[in-house]
Structure 1
Protein backbone atom coordinates (compact mmCIF):
# COMPACT_ATOMS: atom_id res chain seq x y z
CA UNK A 1 0.00 0.00 0.00
CA UNK A 2 1.29 3.44 -0.91
CA UNK A 3 1.36 6.05 1.82
CA UNK A 4 2.73 9.56 2.07
CA UNK A 5 3.23 11.11 5.49
CA UNK A 6 3.49 14.83 6.19
CA UNK A 7 4.02 16.20 9.68
CA UNK A 8 1.71 19.09 10.51
CA UNK A 9 0.84 20.93 13.70
CA UNK A 10 -2.25 18.76 14.05
CA UNK A 11 -0.48 15.43 13.73
CA UNK A 12 0.04 12.95 10.94
CA UNK A 13 -1.91 12.94 7.70
CA UNK A 14 -1.93 9.79 5.57
CA UNK A 15 -2.86 10.24 1.94
CA UNK A 16 -2.27 8.91 -1.55
CA UNK A 17 -1.88 10.72 -4.87
CA UNK A 18 -2.80 14.12 -3.47
CA UNK A 19 -0.90 17.27 -2.60
CA UNK A 20 -0.99 18.40 1.01
CA UNK A 21 0.70 21.28 2.78
CA UNK A 22 2.72 21.06 5.95
CA UNK A 23 2.89 24.50 7.47
CA UNK A 24 3.10 26.45 10.69
CA UNK A 25 1.93 30.05 10.38
CA UNK A 26 3.30 31.79 13.44
CA UNK A 27 5.90 34.16 12.05
CA UNK A 28 4.94 36.86 9.56
CA UNK A 29 7.24 39.03 7.52
CA UNK A 30 6.45 41.73 4.99
CA UNK A 31 9.19 40.38 2.74
CA UNK A 32 10.63 36.95 2.12
CA UNK A 33 13.96 36.85 3.98
CA UNK A 34 17.05 36.87 1.82
CA UNK A 35 19.06 33.95 3.13
CA UNK A 36 22.75 34.69 3.43
CA UNK A 37 25.40 33.10 5.60
CA UNK A 38 24.67 35.76 8.20
CA UNK A 39 20.89 35.28 8.22
CA UNK A 40 21.28 31.50 8.27
CA UNK A 41 23.61 31.82 11.25
CA UNK A 42 21.07 34.06 12.99
CA UNK A 43 18.37 31.46 12.34
CA UNK A 44 20.58 28.71 13.77
CA UNK A 45 21.06 30.79 16.92
CA UNK A 46 17.28 31.27 17.23
CA UNK A 47 16.87 27.49 17.32
CA UNK A 48 19.28 27.40 20.28
CA UNK A 49 17.43 30.13 22.19
CA UNK A 50 14.39 28.73 24.02
CA UNK A 51 12.76 32.18 24.05
CA UNK A 52 12.26 31.80 20.27
CA UNK A 53 10.84 28.28 20.40
CA UNK A 54 7.32 27.45 19.33
CA UNK A 55 6.57 25.58 22.55
CA UNK A 56 2.99 24.67 21.62
CA UNK A 57 4.21 23.08 18.39
CA UNK A 58 6.91 21.21 20.29
CA UNK A 59 4.37 19.69 22.67
CA UNK A 60 2.14 18.71 19.76
CA UNK A 61 5.08 16.99 18.07
CA UNK A 62 5.85 15.07 21.27
CA UNK A 63 2.25 13.86 21.45
CA UNK A 64 2.26 12.91 17.75
CA UNK A 65 5.50 10.97 18.12
CA UNK A 66 4.14 9.10 21.13
CA UNK A 67 1.14 8.03 19.06
CA UNK A 68 3.03 7.13 15.86
CA UNK A 69 6.46 6.09 17.16
CA UNK A 70 6.54 2.88 15.14
CA UNK A 71 5.77 4.73 11.91
CA UNK A 72 8.44 7.38 12.49
CA UNK A 73 11.01 4.71 13.35
CA UNK A 74 10.32 2.87 10.08
CA UNK A 75 12.06 5.62 8.09
CA UNK A 76 15.78 5.71 7.26
CA UNK A 77 16.16 8.41 9.95
CA UNK A 78 13.95 8.24 13.03
CA UNK A 79 11.85 11.42 13.23
CA UNK A 80 12.02 12.32 16.92
CA UNK A 81 10.51 15.59 18.23
CA UNK A 82 12.77 18.60 18.69
CA UNK A 83 12.13 22.30 19.42
CA UNK A 84 12.45 24.92 16.67
CA UNK A 85 12.01 28.66 16.42
CA UNK A 86 8.70 29.93 15.03
CA UNK A 87 8.37 29.84 11.26
CA UNK A 88 6.01 30.19 8.31
CA UNK A 89 6.68 27.59 5.61
CA UNK A 90 4.76 25.07 3.50
CA UNK A 91 6.15 21.94 1.85
CA UNK A 92 4.76 19.37 -0.56
CA UNK A 93 5.13 15.76 -1.63
CA UNK A 94 3.49 14.38 -4.78
CA UNK A 95 3.69 10.65 -5.62
CA UNK A 96 3.34 9.44 -9.20
CA UNK A 97 3.68 6.38 -11.42
CA UNK A 98 5.09 6.19 -14.95
CA UNK A 99 4.48 3.18 -17.19
CA UNK A 100 6.68 2.53 -20.21
CA UNK A 101 5.85 -0.56 -22.27
CA UNK A 102 6.02 -3.32 -19.63
CA UNK A 103 8.04 -1.29 -17.12
CA UNK A 104 6.60 0.45 -14.04
CA UNK A 105 8.44 3.36 -12.45
CA UNK A 106 7.25 4.84 -9.16
CA UNK A 107 8.33 8.26 -8.01
CA UNK A 108 7.86 11.24 -5.75
CA UNK A 109 8.24 14.99 -6.22
CA UNK A 110 9.49 16.97 -3.22
CA UNK A 111 9.01 20.73 -3.19
CA UNK A 112 8.03 23.88 -1.37
CA UNK A 113 5.26 26.41 -1.84
CA UNK A 114 6.24 29.89 -3.02
CA UNK A 115 4.61 31.06 0.20
CA UNK A 116 2.20 29.36 2.64
CA UNK A 117 -0.83 31.08 1.07
CA UNK A 118 0.13 30.21 -2.50
CA UNK A 119 -0.90 27.25 -4.66
CA UNK A 120 2.37 27.45 -6.62
CA UNK A 121 4.98 24.77 -5.86
CA UNK A 122 8.66 24.78 -6.73
CA UNK A 123 9.95 21.21 -7.05
CA UNK A 124 13.42 20.61 -5.60
CA UNK A 125 13.73 16.85 -6.19
CA UNK A 126 12.09 14.32 -8.49
CA UNK A 127 13.09 10.80 -7.48
CA UNK A 128 12.06 7.70 -9.44
CA UNK A 129 12.63 3.99 -8.85
CA UNK A 130 12.01 1.17 -11.31
CA UNK A 131 9.71 -1.15 -9.35
CA UNK A 132 7.78 -3.09 -12.03
CA UNK A 133 4.96 -3.42 -9.50
CA UNK A 134 2.13 -0.89 -9.22
CA UNK A 135 1.30 -2.14 -5.73
CA UNK A 136 4.82 -2.12 -4.29
CA UNK A 137 5.19 -0.43 -0.91
CA UNK A 138 6.58 3.08 -0.67
CA UNK A 139 6.48 5.87 1.89
CA UNK A 140 7.58 9.50 2.13
CA UNK A 141 7.92 11.94 5.01
CA UNK A 142 8.52 15.58 4.08
CA UNK A 143 9.27 17.88 7.00
CA UNK A 144 8.99 21.65 7.39
CA UNK A 145 10.62 21.78 10.84
CA UNK A 146 14.10 22.54 9.48
CA UNK A 147 13.00 25.78 7.78
CA UNK A 148 14.55 27.42 5.79
CA UNK A 149 15.99 24.04 4.79
CA UNK A 150 13.69 21.57 3.05
CA UNK A 151 14.09 17.99 4.27
CA UNK A 152 12.45 14.70 3.35
CA UNK A 153 13.05 10.97 3.53
CA UNK A 154 11.43 7.73 2.50
CA UNK A 155 11.77 4.32 0.93
CA UNK A 156 10.67 2.18 -2.00
CA UNK A 157 10.33 -1.58 -1.60
CA UNK A 158 11.25 -3.58 -4.71
CA UNK A 159 11.18 -7.32 -5.34
CA UNK A 160 14.64 -8.11 -3.95
CA UNK A 161 15.66 -5.02 -2.00
CA UNK A 162 14.65 -1.74 -0.36
CA UNK A 163 15.65 1.67 -1.67
CA UNK A 164 16.07 4.17 1.19
CA UNK A 165 16.62 7.87 0.62
CA UNK A 166 17.22 11.10 2.54
CA UNK A 167 17.01 14.58 0.98
CA UNK A 168 17.98 18.10 2.03
CA UNK A 169 17.86 21.43 0.19
CA UNK A 170 19.48 24.63 1.42
CA UNK A 171 18.07 28.09 0.59
CA UNK A 172 21.47 29.02 -0.85
CA UNK A 173 20.85 26.61 -3.76
CA UNK A 174 22.78 23.53 -2.61
CA UNK A 175 20.79 20.32 -2.31
CA UNK A 176 21.46 16.61 -2.25
CA UNK A 177 19.78 13.24 -1.93
CA UNK A 178 21.44 10.10 -0.56
CA UNK A 179 20.00 6.86 -1.99
CA UNK A 180 21.25 3.66 -0.32
CA UNK A 181 24.45 5.61 0.53
CA UNK A 182 24.94 6.95 -3.02
CA UNK A 183 25.08 10.75 -2.80
CA UNK A 184 23.68 12.87 -5.63
CA UNK A 185 24.59 16.57 -5.72
CA UNK A 186 21.40 18.01 -7.20
CA UNK A 187 23.15 21.06 -8.59
CA UNK A 188 24.01 18.70 -11.44
CA UNK A 189 20.45 17.51 -12.02
CA UNK A 190 17.30 17.40 -9.87
CA UNK A 191 15.85 14.30 -11.55
CA UNK A 192 17.20 11.01 -10.17
CA UNK A 193 16.20 7.60 -11.56
CA UNK A 194 17.18 4.37 -9.80
CA UNK A 195 17.25 1.02 -11.64
CA UNK A 196 17.43 -1.87 -9.12
CA UNK A 197 19.25 -4.88 -10.52
CA UNK A 198 18.69 -8.62 -10.17
CA UNK A 199 21.96 -8.95 -8.21
CA UNK A 200 20.69 -6.36 -5.63
CA UNK A 201 22.94 -3.58 -6.92
CA UNK A 202 21.45 -0.56 -8.68
CA UNK A 203 22.24 1.63 -11.67
CA UNK A 204 21.11 5.23 -11.93
CA UNK A 205 20.60 8.33 -14.03
CA UNK A 206 20.88 11.98 -13.02
CA UNK A 207 19.17 14.34 -15.44
CA UNK A 208 19.37 18.13 -15.57
CA UNK A 209 15.62 18.56 -15.77
CA UNK A 210 12.67 19.24 -13.49
CA UNK A 211 8.86 19.50 -13.63
CA UNK A 212 9.49 23.21 -12.98
CA UNK A 213 10.55 23.53 -16.63
CA UNK A 214 7.19 22.42 -18.07
CA UNK A 215 3.65 23.75 -18.23
CA UNK A 216 2.37 20.49 -16.74
CA UNK A 217 3.69 17.19 -15.40
CA UNK A 218 2.59 15.22 -18.46
CA UNK A 219 5.06 17.13 -20.64
CA UNK A 220 7.83 16.38 -18.15
CA UNK A 221 6.85 12.69 -18.10
CA UNK A 222 7.01 12.52 -21.90
CA UNK A 223 10.45 14.12 -21.86
CA UNK A 224 11.72 11.51 -19.41
CA UNK A 225 10.35 8.45 -21.22
CA UNK A 226 11.65 9.78 -24.54
CA UNK A 227 15.16 10.23 -23.15
CA UNK A 228 17.32 7.74 -25.07
CA UNK A 229 19.52 6.85 -22.10
CA UNK A 230 16.47 6.24 -19.90
CA UNK A 231 14.85 4.02 -22.54
CA UNK A 232 18.06 2.02 -22.84
CA UNK A 233 18.33 1.59 -19.08
CA UNK A 234 14.69 0.53 -18.75
CA UNK A 235 15.23 -2.20 -21.33
CA UNK A 236 18.34 -3.62 -19.67
CA UNK A 237 18.31 -7.37 -19.01
CA UNK A 238 19.89 -6.78 -15.60
CA UNK A 239 16.86 -4.92 -14.22
CA UNK A 240 14.56 -6.52 -11.68
CA UNK A 241 11.50 -8.14 -13.19
Structure 2
Protein backbone atom coordinates (compact mmCIF):
# COMPACT_ATOMS: atom_id res chain seq x y z
CA UNK A 1 0.00 0.00 0.00
CA UNK A 2 2.82 2.39 0.91
CA UNK A 3 4.46 1.64 -2.43
CA UNK A 4 1.28 2.52 -4.33
CA UNK A 5 0.97 5.80 -2.41
CA UNK A 6 4.60 6.70 -3.17
CA UNK A 7 4.06 5.96 -6.88
CA UNK A 8 0.94 8.18 -6.94
CA UNK A 9 2.83 11.01 -5.22
CA UNK A 10 5.66 10.68 -7.76
CA UNK A 11 3.20 10.84 -10.68
CA UNK A 12 1.58 13.97 -9.24
CA UNK A 13 4.99 15.64 -8.84
CA UNK A 14 5.98 14.79 -12.42
CA UNK A 15 2.70 16.17 -13.82
CA UNK A 16 3.02 19.30 -11.68
CA UNK A 17 6.59 19.91 -12.88
CA UNK A 18 5.53 19.39 -16.49
CA UNK A 19 2.72 21.95 -16.21
CA UNK A 20 5.05 24.47 -14.52
CA UNK A 21 7.70 23.94 -17.20
CA UNK A 22 5.19 24.62 -19.99
CA UNK A 23 3.96 27.76 -18.23
CA UNK A 24 7.49 29.04 -17.66
CA UNK A 25 8.51 28.40 -21.26
CA UNK A 26 5.51 30.40 -22.46
CA UNK A 27 5.58 33.09 -19.74
CA UNK A 28 1.94 32.16 -19.19
CA UNK A 29 -0.13 31.03 -16.24
CA UNK A 30 -3.55 29.64 -15.34
CA UNK A 31 -4.52 33.02 -13.90
CA UNK A 32 -3.80 34.65 -17.27
CA UNK A 33 -6.07 32.11 -18.99
CA UNK A 34 -8.87 32.87 -16.51
CA UNK A 35 -8.28 36.59 -17.01
CA UNK A 36 -8.69 36.14 -20.76
CA UNK A 37 -11.92 34.13 -20.34
CA UNK A 38 -13.35 36.82 -18.07
CA UNK A 39 -12.44 39.53 -20.58
CA UNK A 40 -14.29 37.65 -23.33
CA UNK A 41 -17.47 38.07 -21.26
CA UNK A 42 -16.78 41.66 -20.17
CA UNK A 43 -17.89 44.20 -22.79
CA UNK A 44 -15.78 46.94 -21.15
CA UNK A 45 -12.65 45.11 -22.36
CA UNK A 46 -13.72 44.67 -25.98
CA UNK A 47 -11.94 46.29 -28.92
CA UNK A 48 -14.91 47.93 -30.66
CA UNK A 49 -12.82 49.48 -33.44
CA UNK A 50 -11.63 46.02 -34.45
CA UNK A 51 -15.17 44.66 -34.08
CA UNK A 52 -16.58 47.33 -36.43
CA UNK A 53 -13.79 46.63 -38.91
CA UNK A 54 -14.59 42.92 -38.84
CA UNK A 55 -18.28 43.61 -39.43
CA UNK A 56 -17.51 45.92 -42.35
CA UNK A 57 -15.30 43.34 -44.05
CA UNK A 58 -18.46 41.75 -45.34
CA UNK A 59 -18.48 38.34 -46.94
CA UNK A 60 -14.92 37.19 -47.53
CA UNK A 61 -16.15 34.23 -49.54
CA UNK A 62 -15.24 30.59 -49.13
CA UNK A 63 -12.06 30.30 -47.06
CA UNK A 64 -12.38 26.80 -45.71
CA UNK A 65 -14.70 24.65 -43.64
CA UNK A 66 -16.01 27.49 -41.43
CA UNK A 67 -17.52 30.83 -42.33
CA UNK A 68 -15.68 33.80 -40.81
CA UNK A 69 -17.71 35.24 -37.93
CA UNK A 70 -17.44 38.72 -36.44
CA UNK A 71 -17.23 38.37 -32.65
CA UNK A 72 -16.33 41.12 -30.18
CA UNK A 73 -12.96 40.27 -28.64
CA UNK A 74 -10.89 41.77 -25.78
CA UNK A 75 -8.15 44.26 -26.58
CA UNK A 76 -5.01 42.26 -27.26
CA UNK A 77 -2.75 44.32 -25.00
CA UNK A 78 -4.90 43.60 -21.94
CA UNK A 79 -2.94 40.36 -21.58
CA UNK A 80 0.29 42.33 -21.74
CA UNK A 81 1.87 44.90 -24.02
CA UNK A 82 3.48 43.12 -26.95
CA UNK A 83 1.55 39.91 -26.32
CA UNK A 84 0.63 39.86 -30.02
CA UNK A 85 3.16 40.53 -32.77
CA UNK A 86 1.43 38.98 -35.76
CA UNK A 87 0.94 35.73 -37.63
CA UNK A 88 0.69 34.59 -41.21
CA UNK A 89 0.77 31.84 -43.80
CA UNK A 90 3.27 30.76 -46.41
CA UNK A 91 2.89 28.23 -49.21
CA UNK A 92 4.13 27.07 -52.59
CA UNK A 93 3.61 24.55 -55.40
CA UNK A 94 5.99 21.75 -56.44
CA UNK A 95 5.84 19.56 -59.56
CA UNK A 96 5.96 15.77 -59.12
CA UNK A 97 5.66 13.83 -62.39
CA UNK A 98 2.03 14.16 -63.54
CA UNK A 99 0.91 15.82 -60.29
CA UNK A 100 1.44 19.03 -58.37
CA UNK A 101 2.10 19.19 -54.65
CA UNK A 102 0.47 22.17 -52.98
CA UNK A 103 1.88 23.28 -49.62
CA UNK A 104 0.46 25.70 -47.10
CA UNK A 105 1.56 26.53 -43.56
CA UNK A 106 0.60 28.79 -40.65
CA UNK A 107 3.00 30.61 -38.33
CA UNK A 108 2.95 32.77 -35.19
CA UNK A 109 5.50 35.53 -34.64
CA UNK A 110 7.57 35.79 -31.48
CA UNK A 111 5.78 37.65 -28.71
CA UNK A 112 6.03 38.22 -24.97
CA UNK A 113 4.40 34.87 -24.20
CA UNK A 114 6.30 32.53 -26.52
CA UNK A 115 9.71 34.23 -26.70
CA UNK A 116 11.33 31.91 -24.15
CA UNK A 117 10.30 28.85 -26.13
CA UNK A 118 11.19 30.32 -29.53
CA UNK A 119 14.59 31.57 -28.32
CA UNK A 120 16.39 33.03 -31.39
CA UNK A 121 13.62 32.20 -33.88
CA UNK A 122 11.52 35.13 -35.08
CA UNK A 123 8.41 32.96 -35.49
CA UNK A 124 7.28 29.34 -35.50
CA UNK A 125 5.33 27.19 -37.93
CA UNK A 126 2.53 25.41 -36.04
CA UNK A 127 0.97 23.59 -39.02
CA UNK A 128 1.97 22.50 -42.50
CA UNK A 129 -0.10 20.62 -45.06
CA UNK A 130 1.07 19.17 -48.38
CA UNK A 131 -1.58 17.90 -50.81
CA UNK A 132 -1.14 16.22 -54.17
CA UNK A 133 -3.46 17.42 -56.91
CA UNK A 134 -3.98 16.99 -60.63
CA UNK A 135 -5.90 20.28 -60.96
CA UNK A 136 -4.41 23.76 -60.59
CA UNK A 137 -6.14 27.03 -61.50
CA UNK A 138 -3.41 29.66 -61.82
CA UNK A 139 -5.76 32.28 -63.24
CA UNK A 140 -8.86 32.44 -61.06
CA UNK A 141 -7.29 31.06 -57.86
CA UNK A 142 -10.68 29.59 -56.91
CA UNK A 143 -9.43 26.05 -56.39
CA UNK A 144 -7.54 26.87 -53.19
CA UNK A 145 -7.78 29.55 -50.53
CA UNK A 146 -6.78 29.99 -46.89
CA UNK A 147 -6.83 32.41 -43.99
CA UNK A 148 -5.11 32.64 -40.60
CA UNK A 149 -6.92 34.46 -37.80
CA UNK A 150 -5.78 36.20 -34.60
CA UNK A 151 -9.22 36.90 -33.14
CA UNK A 152 -8.84 34.12 -30.56
CA UNK A 153 -5.65 35.76 -29.22
CA UNK A 154 -3.67 34.35 -27.42
CA UNK A 155 -4.75 31.25 -29.40
CA UNK A 156 -4.54 31.21 -33.19
CA UNK A 157 -6.40 29.45 -35.97
CA UNK A 158 -5.91 28.93 -39.69
CA UNK A 159 -8.03 27.17 -42.27
CA UNK A 160 -8.29 26.61 -46.00
CA UNK A 161 -9.22 24.27 -48.80
CA UNK A 162 -7.97 22.86 -52.07
CA UNK A 163 -10.04 21.25 -54.80
CA UNK A 164 -8.72 18.33 -56.83
CA UNK A 165 -10.38 16.45 -59.67
CA UNK A 166 -12.16 14.05 -57.33
CA UNK A 167 -12.00 15.71 -53.89
CA UNK A 168 -12.21 18.89 -51.92
CA UNK A 169 -9.71 18.93 -49.05
CA UNK A 170 -10.82 21.17 -46.17
CA UNK A 171 -8.39 21.79 -43.35
CA UNK A 172 -8.29 23.68 -40.08
CA UNK A 173 -5.51 23.97 -37.50
CA UNK A 174 -5.12 25.86 -34.24
CA UNK A 175 -2.50 26.40 -31.57
CA UNK A 176 -3.13 27.46 -27.98
CA UNK A 177 -0.70 29.49 -25.94
CA UNK A 178 -0.12 26.40 -23.81
CA UNK A 179 1.46 25.01 -27.03
CA UNK A 180 -1.30 22.51 -27.71
CA UNK A 181 -1.97 22.23 -31.43
CA UNK A 182 -4.48 20.22 -33.43
CA UNK A 183 -5.70 19.99 -37.01
CA UNK A 184 -8.83 18.61 -38.66
CA UNK A 185 -8.63 17.53 -42.30
CA UNK A 186 -11.89 16.30 -43.82
CA UNK A 187 -13.02 15.19 -40.32
CA UNK A 188 -9.76 13.38 -39.42
CA UNK A 189 -8.17 14.75 -36.23
CA UNK A 190 -4.39 15.20 -35.95
CA UNK A 191 -2.54 16.00 -32.73
CA UNK A 192 0.19 18.28 -34.08
CA UNK A 193 2.38 17.69 -31.05
CA UNK A 194 3.17 14.37 -32.73
CA UNK A 195 4.06 16.03 -36.03
CA UNK A 196 3.06 19.38 -37.49
CA UNK A 197 3.51 18.33 -41.13
CA UNK A 198 0.56 16.46 -42.66
CA UNK A 199 0.66 14.89 -46.14
CA UNK A 200 -2.61 14.17 -47.95
CA UNK A 201 -2.82 12.07 -51.11
CA UNK A 202 -6.31 11.96 -52.70
CA UNK A 203 -6.98 8.64 -54.45
CA UNK A 204 -8.77 7.80 -57.68
CA UNK A 205 -11.54 6.06 -55.72
CA UNK A 206 -12.14 9.37 -53.84
CA UNK A 207 -10.57 8.07 -50.62
CA UNK A 208 -7.68 9.82 -48.89
CA UNK A 209 -4.25 8.73 -47.66
CA UNK A 210 -2.51 10.67 -44.90
CA UNK A 211 0.98 10.71 -43.43
CA UNK A 212 2.03 12.67 -40.35
CA UNK A 213 5.66 13.82 -40.19
CA UNK A 214 7.55 14.82 -37.04
CA UNK A 215 9.26 17.82 -38.61
CA UNK A 216 12.00 19.87 -36.92
CA UNK A 217 11.38 23.36 -35.54
CA UNK A 218 10.35 25.41 -38.58
CA UNK A 219 10.06 29.13 -39.27
CA UNK A 220 8.72 31.18 -42.15
CA UNK A 221 12.34 31.45 -43.37
CA UNK A 222 13.07 27.71 -43.30
CA UNK A 223 9.75 26.16 -44.35
CA UNK A 224 10.31 26.33 -48.13
CA UNK A 225 13.79 24.78 -48.08
CA UNK A 226 12.56 22.10 -45.68
CA UNK A 227 9.67 21.26 -47.99
CA UNK A 228 11.93 20.91 -51.02
CA UNK A 229 14.14 18.47 -49.13
CA UNK A 230 11.19 16.55 -47.69
CA UNK A 231 9.37 15.90 -50.96
CA UNK A 232 12.56 14.48 -52.52
CA UNK A 233 12.85 11.77 -49.88
CA UNK A 234 12.12 8.31 -51.27
CA UNK A 235 9.40 7.50 -48.73
CA UNK A 236 7.58 10.74 -49.56
CA UNK A 237 7.82 10.18 -53.32
CA UNK A 238 6.46 6.66 -52.84
CA UNK A 239 3.64 7.92 -50.63
CA UNK A 240 2.38 10.35 -53.27
CA UNK A 241 2.97 8.09 -56.29
CA UNK A 242 1.23 4.95 -55.03
CA UNK A 243 -2.44 5.34 -55.90
CA UNK A 244 -5.30 2.99 -55.19
CA UNK A 245 -7.16 1.78 -58.26
CA UNK A 246 -10.81 2.55 -58.73
TM class, shorter-chain normalised? 0.7 to 0.9
- Higher share of residues assigned strand: 1
Shift of the 182–61 alpha-carbon distance from structure 1 to 2, 3 Å rule, reads same
Structure 2: gaps spanning 5 or more residues: 1-24, 77-83, 113-120
Q: How does 1:1-241 map to 2 (within 5 A)?
A: 34-65=27-58, 69=59, 71=61, 75-87=64-76, 88-115=84-111, 120-135=122-137, 137-210=143-216, 212=218, 216-238=222-244
Q: Which has the larger radius of gyration?
A: 2
* Contact 1:47 1:53 survives alignment (8 Å): yes
The alignment's TM-score, normalised by the length of structure 1, stands at: 0.76
Structure 1: gaps spanning 5 or more residues: 1-31
Q: Once the two structures are superposed, what CA deviation does each residue of 1:78-119 show, in whole Å capped at 9, x if it has no partner?
A: 111000011134111112112233331001110011149xx9
Shift of the 213–45 alpha-carbon distance from structure 1 to 2, 3 Å rule, reads closer
Secondary structure of residue in 1 paired with 2:57: helix
Deviation >3 Å, runs of 4+ = 213-219
* Contact 1:143 1:150 survives alignment (8 Å): yes
* Contact 1:211 1:220 survives alignment (8 Å): no
CA distance in 1, matches of 2:217, 2:101: 16
The alignment's TM-score, normalised by the length of structure 2, stands at: 0.75
Secondary structure of residue in 2 paired with 1:212: coil
CA distance in 2, matches of 1:56, 1:96: 34
